[in-house]
Structure 1
């Protein structure tokens, strides 16, 4: 049993600690997600002829969104090709080697799997068989692919310009791959670069992509 003086000292210390804890401010909650915040808008200016607008979701994938912002602001994505494009599935980019095996010099990210579905226009991080291996590569879905849900980190969705994604040439890799001319965050106010004039082949690619999306057989395209 503690002596009376030691016991009083212990009680006093506990009381002071409790008072100090009560005076502490509770940890501040993250700011609510604002879809109009220009920090949450990613622009991809594509060689297929236009600007794609992507709404980022830091509320469900904060570390992945932070990575995309950082790499976009570095100019990392500028000039990179869509190296893996599967009709009816998705278009993948973000590899500086164009081989599907490259990434940035930053460490891989811990997975942030969430409940956002892989719908048409969903933007999600590519990875290897390891859950925590996403780095810089990402893909945009042409069609709903719900089998990927909660197995890949969704961090955004196309809200405008999906026609320029539909026009990306298919292939693994495509014979004439499309490129990201410029990736930027809306808050930085970077104007789009000059876009190539749509050639007949480019127009045909747009028509083929739209026909495929509608499920038309080849003889009716």
Structure 2
């Protein structure tokens, strides 16, 4: 055997072994220190339990739609939703739930016609820029754990319609929707809805319980008759759930050095699978990490 032929191969293997491990976004999340995480208040978690045992947990976004979110919280505390169902599931688009066409008076204090909370003032927001162009707004980035589009010149910002994000069902403009009926995006991010519908939060757990439902066969994905509706057992705030069953979540601080590293890698993947980094990333593809709060850290 010619030992000289083995030397280059051996050197190549040694060189590979000496190379530092290329981090993935998952590596960054798994190694994130406790200081990189922020707890979601129990009053800002909406817990929807389906009658079949599935649970969907939604983080509310009062900093973007304060009146609509306040409506949701008041309806939850007033136990407004008995009889609610998922009555629309449109493929690659939305799953929608609530009381539908059932006429029921709103609880006291719920505003039937909230303001059009499709944007908010940019002033006061400490935004971490995306670093890549956004096709739907002059700029995009992250603030307090949320993806946002914004205009530095016009001074507005909006929560974006990414996968799993929750919006308020409404009729034709100027109808804004009371938030009695909501929907979650279960397909390609419908960013064309930005600044046209109030976005009130995101599903942090259980989106599969909605995205896996049978598709409605009528126009816009509505179920043909009520026998197809998916019953909802309850819709409550996490603060209304017993301590033993109460979900607790935290999100990565988007102003932290850990998120900056996560964002950089999301836009410039260089681990073993990727031949060439893209050098940019879509806003909705930088899913802000959200995790269940470690048991030992729960209040």
Structure 1 counterpart of 2:92: 88
Offset at residue 73 of structure 1 (A): 1.6
Rounded to whole Å, the distance in 2 between the matches of 1:55 and 1:131 is 26
Asked if the contact 2:115–2:176 (Cα under 8 Å) also holds between the matched residues in 1, the reply is yes
Structure 2 counterpart of 1:121: 164
CA offsets per residue over residues 99-123 of structure 1, 9 Å max, x none? xxx5643522221003111111110
Rounded to whole Å, the distance in 1 between the matches of 2:234 and 2:90 is 22
TM-score (norm 2): 0.48
1:178–1:72 distance in 2 versus 1, CA, 3 Å: same
Q: Which has the larger radius of gyration?
A: 1
Structure 2 counterpart of 1:134: 177
Offset at residue 169 of structure 1 (A): 2.7
Offset at residue 44 of structure 1 (A): 0.6
Structure 1 counterpart of 2:115: 110
Equivalent of 1:182, from 234, 254, 257? 234
Mean Cα displacement is larger for which, 152-161 or 132-141? 132-141
Mind listing any 5+ residue stretches in structure 2 that lack a counterpart? Answer: 1-37, 120-157, 217-221, 246-299
CA RMSD of aligned residues (A): 2.1
1:48–1:166 distance in 2 versus 1, CA, 3 Å: farther
Rounded to whole Å, the distance in 1 between the matches of 2:41 and 2:214 is 32
Aligned residues: 156
Mind listing any 5+ residue stretches in structure 1 that lack a counterpart? Answer: 1-33, 193-221
Rounded to whole Å, the distance in 2 between the matches of 1:96 and 1:104 is 13
Asked if the contact 1:94–1:103 (Cα under 8 Å) also holds between the matched residues in 2, the reply is no
Offset at residue 47 of structure 1 (A): 3.0
Rounded to whole Å, the distance in 2 between the matches of 1:179 and 1:67 is 22
Rounded to whole Å, the distance in 2 between the matches of 1:134 and 1:103 is 14
Which is richer in strand?
2
Alignment of 1:8-157 (within 5 A): 35-97=39-101, 102=103, 104-105=105-106, 106=110, 107-114=112-119, 115-135=158-178, 136-143=180-187, 144-157=189-202
Rounded to whole Å, the distance in 1 between the matches of 2:66 and 2:80 is 19
What SS does the aligned partner of 1:65 have?
helix
Which is richer in helix?
1
TM-score (norm 1): 0.64
Offset at residue 167 of structure 1 (A): 2.6
What SS does the aligned partner of 1:83 have?
strand
Structure 2 counterpart of 1:173: 223
